[in-house]
Amino acid sequence: MIIVLMGVSGCGKTTVGTKLASHLGWEYQEGDALHPQENILKMSDGVPLNDDDRKPWISRISDWIDSRCEAGRDGVISCSALKESYRRTIRGNQKDVQFIYLRGTRELLSRRLSQRRDHFMPPDLLESQLNLLEEPSADERAFVVTIDRTPNDIVKSICDLLGLQ
């Protein structure tokens, strides 16, 4: 199984992803590490990415998932996956990919981003991500987990939802 933790910046994808992967003994991939350098520079300058900017990044995420599935290896990956079309591409033809949408209020997300240091994504890009976000529909079979709890509680909720130890 591949678990894709998705949501806007500040929702805790990295924190929850590393804890979840460690808890399960699975490999973890930070989705931001798959961004082309041009994307990182653009976001660092406060410029939102467009669909064309995201294409190589989404492709790298999909490739990571495909390689794990083909090798029969479980994993956890974090990425914003803001649009349904991105999630469709990320999932590809893989049947064992589960999206977990980490949902938080604008206020909580803003507070978290204002406290974050050493990240290329400036807090003022949150609004553009929220405007772009297409929350997963029922057709996508994604689980929604609220982020107003501790990371350990969120990991427990995800494991309970997926029937994992």
Q: Answer whether residue 120 shows pLDDT above 60.
A: no
Q: In this predicted structure, what is the pLDDT of residue 99?
A: 97
pLDDT single digits (tens) 59-112: 999 999 999 999 999 999 999 999 999 999 999 999 999 999 999 998 898 888
Helix (H) or strand (E) holding 107: helix 106-115
Among residues 32, 4, 9, 28, the alpha carbon closest in space to that of 104 is found at 9
Q: In this predicted structure, what is the pLDDT of residue 41?
A: 87
Q: Which sequence spans correspond to the domains of the chain? A: 2-162
Contact criterion met (CB below 8 Å) for 76 and 27:
yes
pTM for this predicted structure: 0.89
Tell me the average pLDDT of the chain: 90
Q: In this predicted structure, what is the pLDDT of residue 121?
A: 52
Q: In this predicted structure, what is the pLDDT of residue 122?
A: 56
pLDDT single digits (tens) 125-147: 778 888 889 999 989 989 999 99
pLDDT single digits (tens) 5-39: 999 988 999 999 999 999 999 999 999 899 989 98
DSSP 80: -
DSSP, collapsed to helix, strand or coil, labels residue 151 as helix
Tokens read off for 96: 């064992």
Class of domain 2-162: alpha beta
